[in-house]
Structure 1
Amino acid sequence: MSQITFPEFEYKRPDLDQLENAFQAVLVELRDAETVNDAIAAVEQIDSIRASVATAYNIGYIRYSINTRDSFYREEKDWFDTNLPRTEQWRVDYYRALLDNPHREALQKHFGDQLFDSARVSINTFRPEILEELQAVNKLSSEFTQMRGGAEIEIDGKTYNLSSIAPLEQVPDREKRKAASTAKWNWYAEHRERMENIYGEMVQLRTTMARKLDYENYVGLGYANMNRTDYGPEEVANFRRQVREHIVPIAQQLYEQQRERIGVDRLRYYDLSFRFPDGNPTPKGDPAAIVAHAEKMYQELSPETGTFFRILQDQKLMDLEAKDGKAPGGYCTYINEYQTPYIFSNFNGTSHDIDVLTHEFGHAFQVYSSRNQRPMEYNWPTFDAAEIHSMSMEFFTYPWMEGFFKGDTGKYYFSHLASAFRFLPYGCAVDEFQHRVYENPDLGNAGRNAIWKEMEAAYLPHLDYSDNDHLKDGTFWQSQGHVFNVPFYYIDYCLAQICAFQFLLRDEQDHTSAWADYVKLCKAGGSKSFLELVKLAGLENPFEDGVVKKIADRVRERLDA
């Protein structure tokens, strides 16, 4: 691993013409390989070419998202939006060469089944006929990101963005948090027409791509793009049913307890983020103090995590604080040629600062642990498995929370676990919403909003928007970036949460065993499918009937305690 810092990482726009010529030459070598060793060498060369493009993209994207107003990296992001889709043809050609290779059996034995299962699923996700649609979706996605990154919300003479306004929505004074929440949603209301139209255009473009690739609608193409090799919409629908039956009723009890706890007659939308009458748990210390305690925490958790957190600090591989012009949200990405992850977040003084630090560290620790996996497809698992690492890390770090929260620690434990539990219905609502939208792509804006209102009635019946005309119209989904930018990436969090709950319960019984299985899972990267990784980690399959109920009952017992 390189020891230079991220600001020193070289960014150079890739010469796609030159790289494509090199790629095609190696592809010929792969197809015509006389021996399996020749074929393996060709795969490794292809990996190297693809990694160089991914490296440039990720360095540029990180610097762009740190400051969406930076004209240079904004132009580079626009360039990638237009030009990166052409590399999809490289990937499809490569996968065909693998699947049709005369040495396929030996290659499969060398690299494992997952590469070939992924190739089979991905083989029909691109043809040159959909290039223009991909480019158009990318541009719309960037417009959406820039719109949210540039949000300016004025309250009492001060200007906030979508990240920094969050603490104001959690203050004990109900009128003040109502004012903050109303101001935020007024910003969404002002941009509603454009946001709805962006999404409507995206739905049409994705539907057009799906039909050009001979799918009935975008659902099948969306699942293929998510590389889901061992389950489909039927299994997901059954999982959502179990959440409705076994999770939603308990979640509603938690909301009712919250209403009683904070002393309001009805739990309105601006009350949801306020959990305790004397205020929410908040980190005690500035960002530097948070990072200092995180270093202590990871040194004590395990030798591997201690060494790794030091690397993140020394190489400046984190940008954690909210700033004007910074894209909202948090993520972890991977810079292939430097073999380094990067953590991006927006600290705003709420408990979410700690959640995102542990969550994204889980992603980063996983990809660092599997950085030497080959081919590059195996550095990351699919999103569903990847979220197990992140969500489980939130639980593995529980013993160190007192260092962050001091007297608020007890409130944090309850709030964090209850929030993880209450997330499941929301995550399923987002997922079913997307299925319904792409199964009915011609509905229009009002039709899509009507679907969201149905989802709220089924999964989130506690919601009360009676004094907000914007949210009453079924528009809350417009604040969920995944819906726009990564279709069908959301049920992954729900599946992973059921797995992470299992790690929590196991960790309490036998930390050594649970941690060993977690590290084993991280090192496996993406070398196996989702359900194979679940089995490898000694976890129960969340799709199996009865598993959701069993986990829900055990977590409920813990919350009651």
Structure 2
Amino acid sequence: MIKFKEFPYERVDFQELSERFINHTKKLELATTVGEAYLQIIETDYLEKVFVSYATLSEAGNTNNSYDKFYLEEEAFFNKIKPEFSLLMQKRDDAILQSPFREELRKLIGNEFFNSAVMKKRTVSEEVLTLMEAENELSQEYSTIRSRLSIEVDGKTLTMPEINKLGQSADRETRKKYAVLGERAMMKQAPEFDRIYDEMMKIRTEIAHKTGFESYTDYCLHKFGRTSYGRDELLVFADNVKKYIVPVVSKMVEEQAKRLGHEVKNYDESTLFPNRQATVTKDLLPSFKKIFTKLSPETKVFFDELYEREFFDLDLRKGKTNGAYSNYMPLCNMPYVFETYNATEGAVETFAHECGHGLNSFMHRGEPASGVCVQSADICETHSMSMEFFVWQNIDEIITEDVDKYKYRQLKDSLAFIPYGTAIDVFQTKVYDNPEMTPEERRSLWKELEKEFIPWRKYEEGLFYSEGRAWQHQIHVMKWPFYYIDYVLAQVCALQFWVLDEEDHEKSWEAYIRLIKDSGKYSFTEIIKRAGLSTPFEEGILKRISDKVLDFSSGLRV
């Protein structure tokens, strides 16, 4: 079996690929039997797999070393052609929607494709390709700036992942020192962040208007194929978050301040106890191999192959992008897991999260027309965020001491994330509904939303975050607008899996596997209900999970 590093990279011959894609789309339009139509769908699906595989290799090369000129050029190439490829796929999807064999194809590729395709078809047109290319260039510019952030400390150059790790010290003065240093590094680039986002706003708003949408908010609701909820449901959800989640988290932070003996600043939020935190082993891969071997047959097979074929990059080094992702390599039938792993509790959760994505793509590998049956982001994040809790079954393989502290912190952070993520979504909705806002007005808006959704958060004055810039640190706002609410909705579902797992692990795991198998076939709310969970929009669900978190946390030995 080929390893990741052994897979040869070559630039995609996009002209040839496009010609082949267009040819198969025409044959799809002219098909006289459902078999002919389906064959052409499979042919285009294969070409999509080629495109995605080499795009994944390019991104991996760039995120592993942002100074590598070769992959900088390759990313520039993909930033230019991705909008064109999106247009090719949209025309293919239109051909499927207009096929006389639509009902027969519905049985082969699932009903959700048709619902989603109808929504997405308006979001890509030849008229906006140049604008989308310009947006991608700005996105890459932001990524490059972020990956190269560093600061001189005691004669050494520290990257942001290194600064972040040192900022989680048990000593408060050390935490403050590195938190301040990190903010200063970000502050140097604040004018650039303002400029980049301002240009993005104008471009994205123009894309929305040229494709017939009143605002970029509405454009993204269609772009993400949100077939089972919209603005109204998200508005009610945000109100319920303020009503049921914010007071509970505020109470937990008050209790934290009493334990610590001082107010909780933003750099204290992950320090829940005055004595030491949970102990994390540095042997991530061997530890997770044991965890996944014990968890289930599915996770064992998945992780064994990931491990043996080395489809991961976890090291800390200069120029490596700070963050994590799991991208699927269709030509290898393998997910590629990327993380700047720093041996902290949060990094353990992040790796489990990306392995949740990886397991899902691994279990769907080999399926015909898998590219056509695209899974929505909200359900994909449910796969990953739920895995963060499923690894609790054997978490002592990597959290070697004070496991209860680890669990308490994860539950508190999971609950606290819901208001933060909701604030991010509300912020984006407001700024894209009012694109004439100035950078100063956006920062002022964020400060107001923090008071509503994150009232416990306190910053050092005169630095990056106190200026209302925390959203600029959130890469999703800059690169993938309106994606972040998917994490929030997924967190509500993941916490339900946690509750079920504490009661009946076998039943919970069966429901989770059912959810993975259903992904791409049904809408988000349908999949959640079929797994036996409540949707995040149902009345009372936020109160139930917050009550469960409080009850469970009170019984932990911390």
Q: Which moved more, 1:526-535 or 1:144-153?
A: 526-535
| 1:120 alignment partner in structure 2 | 118
Secondary structure at the counterpart of residue 277 of structure 1:
coil
Contact 2:113–2:520 (8 Å) recurs in 1:
no
Gaps of 5+ in 2: none
How do residues 154-169 of structure 1 correspond to structure 2 at under 5 angstroms?
Answer: 154-169=152-167
Distance across 2 between alignment mates of 1:181 and 1:461? 20
Aligned to 1:402: 396
Q: Distance in 2 between matches of 1:245 and 1:106?
A: 46
Q: 1:30 aligns with which of 28, 31, 39?
A: 28
Shift of 1:525: 3.1
- Matches for 1:450-465 after TM superposition, within 5 Å: 450-465=444-459
Q: 2:15 aligns with which of 10, 14, 17?
A: 17
Shift of 1:469: 4.1
Correspondence for 1:363 among 347, 357, 361:
357
Distance 2:463 2:299 in 1: 48
- 1:196 paired residue number: 194
What residue is the counterpart of 1:281 in the other structure?
Answer: 278
**In 1: Cα distance, 2:214 partner to 2:85 partner:** 25
Q: Secondary structure at the match of 1:123?
A: helix
CA contact (8 A) 2:183 2:464 kept: yes
Written as runs of structure 1 = structure 2, the 5 A alignment for 1:101-250 is 101-250=99-248
Whether the aligned pair in 1 keeps the contact of 2:295 and 2:393 (CA below 8 Å) is no
Question: Helix, strand or coil: the match of 2:60?
Answer: helix
Q: Is the CA contact (8 Å cut-off) linking 1:370 and 1:524 kept in structure 2?
A: no
Q: Residues 110 and 373 of structure 2 are in contact (CA less than 8 Å); yes or no, is this contact kept in structure 1?
A: no
Between the aligned partners of 1:70 and 1:106, the Cα distance in structure 2 is 48
Contact 2:279 2:400 in 1 (8 A): no
Does residue 1:439 correspond to 2:433, yes or no? yes
For residues 64 and 379 of structure 1, the distance between their equivalents in structure 2, rounded to whole angstroms, comes to: 28
CA distance 1:396–1:448, change in 2 (3 Å): same
- Alignment check: 8 A CA contact 2:45 2:370 kept: yes
* Structure 1 residue 235, shift from structure 2 partner: 0.6
Partner of 1:337: 331
Answer with 379-388 or 52-61: which moved more: 379-388
Whole-angstrom CA distance in 1 between matches of 2:198 and 2:256: 36
Q: Does 1:421 align with 2:415?
A: yes
Change (3 A) 1:152 1:469: closer
**Contact 1:331–1:344 at 8 Å: present in 2 too?**
yes
2:45 to 9, 27, 47: 47
- Taking the TM superposition and a 5 Å limit, the aligned residue runs for 1:497-512 are 497-512=491-506
Q: Aligned match of 1:351 in 345, 348, 369?
A: 345
Q: Name the CA distance, whole Å, in 1 between partners of 2:225 and 2:276.
A: 42
Pairs aligned (count): 555
- Provide TM-score, normalisation by structure 1: 0.97
Name the counterpart of 1:271.
Answer: 268
What's the offset of the Cα at 1:269? 2.4
Kindly indicate whether the alpha-carbon contact (under 8 Å) linking 1:506 and 1:514 is maintained by their aligned counterparts in 2.
Answer: yes
Matched with 1:321 is 315
Written as runs of structure 1 = structure 2, the 5 A alignment for 1:460-539 is 460-539=454-533
CA distance in 2, matches of 1:81, 1:91: 16
- Residues 1:251 and 1:378: Cα distance change in structure 2 (over 3 Å): farther
Deviation track 1:316-345 (CA, whole Å, cap 9, x = no partner) reads 111112211101101101011211101100
Indicate whether 1:294 and 2:292 are aligned.
no
* CA contact 1:169–1:274 (8 Å) conserved in 2: no
RMSD value over aligned CA atoms? 1.4
- Please give the secondary structure, in 1, of the residue aligned with 2:122: coil
- How far the C-alpha of 1:167 sits from its partner, in A, is 2.2
Distance in 2, matches of 1:105 and 1:350, equals 51
Distance in 2, Cα, partners of 1:270 & 1:53 = 42
Following superposition, the deviation at residue 466 of structure 1 comes to: 4.9
Q: CA deviation at 1:377?
A: 3.4
Change (3 A) 1:489 1:518: same
Cα displacement (A) at 1:257: 1.3
Which amino acid in the other structure matches residue 412 of structure 2?
A
Q: Is the 8 A contact 2:164 2:182 kept in 1?
A: no
Among 75, 83, 86, the alignment partner of 1:77 is 75
Provide the C-alpha distance between the structure 2 equivalents of 1:46 and 1:269, rounded to a whole number of angstroms: 49
1:63/1:218 Cα in 2 relative to 1: closer, same or farther (>3 Å)? same
Amino acid in the other structure paired with 2:444: A
Deviation at 1:376, TM superposition (A): 2.5
Partner Cα distance (2:6, 2:519) in 1: 27
Q: Is the 8 A contact 1:281 1:350 kept in 2?
A: no
Q: Select which of 530, 539, 560 maps to 2:554.
A: 560
Query: Contact (CA 8 Å) 1:380, 1:386: kept in 2 or not?
Result: no
Does 11-20 or 169-178 show the bigger shift?
169-178
Partner amino acid for 2:268? D
5+ long unaligned stretches in structure 1: none
Output one character per residue of 1:4-46: Cα deviation in whole Å (capped at 9) or x when no partner.
0001112121111111111111111111101011111011111
Equivalent position SS for 1:334: strand
Is the Cα–Cα contact under 8 Å of residues 154 and 183 in structure 1 kept in the other structure?
no
AA aligned to 1:513 is K
Matches within 5 A, 1:79-94: 79-94=77-92
Q: Structure 2: how far apart are the matches of 1:281 and 1:468?
A: 32
One of 381, 397, 413 as aligned partner of 1:387: 381
The Cα of 1:185 is off from its aligned counterpart by 0.4
What are the superposed Cα offsets for residues 73-122 of structure 1, whole Å, 9 maximum, x if unpaired? Answer: 11100111112211121112111111111111111122211111121011
What letter corresponds to residue 283 of structure 1 in structure 2? V
In the TM superposition, what is the alpha-carbon distance from 1:369 to its structure 2 partner?
Answer: 0.7
Aligned to 1:306: 300
Q: Does the CA contact (< 8 Å) of 1:282 and 1:349 recur in 2?
A: no
TM-score normalised by structure 2 residue count: 0.97
Equivalents in 2 of 1:376, 1:307: separation in Å? 21
In structure 2, C-alpha distance between the alignment counterparts of 1:390 and 1:58, rounded to whole Å: 19
**Aligned AA (2:38):** I
> Secondary structure at 2:400's aligned position in 1?
helix
Specify whether residues 536 and 40 from structure 1 end up closer, same or farther in structure 2 by C-alpha distance, changes over 3 A only: same
- For residues 536 and 435 of structure 1, the distance between their equivalents in structure 2, rounded to whole angstroms, comes to 30
Q: State the secondary structure of the residue aligned to 2:508.
A: helix
Deviates more, 1:217-226 or 1:369-378: 369-378
Q: CA deviation at 1:165?
A: 1.2
Quote the Cα distance in structure 1 between the aligned partners of 2:276 and 2:127: 55
**Partner Cα distance (1:202, 1:190) in 2:** 20
Which letter does structure 2 place at the counterpart of 1:181? A
1:380 to partner: Cα distance: 5.3
Show CA shifts across 1:135-160 (max 9, x none): 11101111111111111122222222
Tell me, yes or no, if the aligned pair for 2:3 and 2:309 is still in contact at 8 Å: yes
Please give the alpha-carbon distance, in whole angstroms, between the structure 2 residues aligned to 1:61 and 1:247: 37
2:432, 2:279 → 1: CA distance?
A: 40
Any idea what SS the aligned residue of 1:487 has? coil
Matches of 1:43 and 1:367, distance apart in 2 = 20
Output the CA distance in 2 between the equivalents of 1:370 and 1:504.
24
In 1, the alpha carbon distance for the partners of 2:63 and 2:40 equals 34
Cα offset, 1:379, TM superposition? 6.5
CA distance in 2, matches of 1:379, 1:307: 24
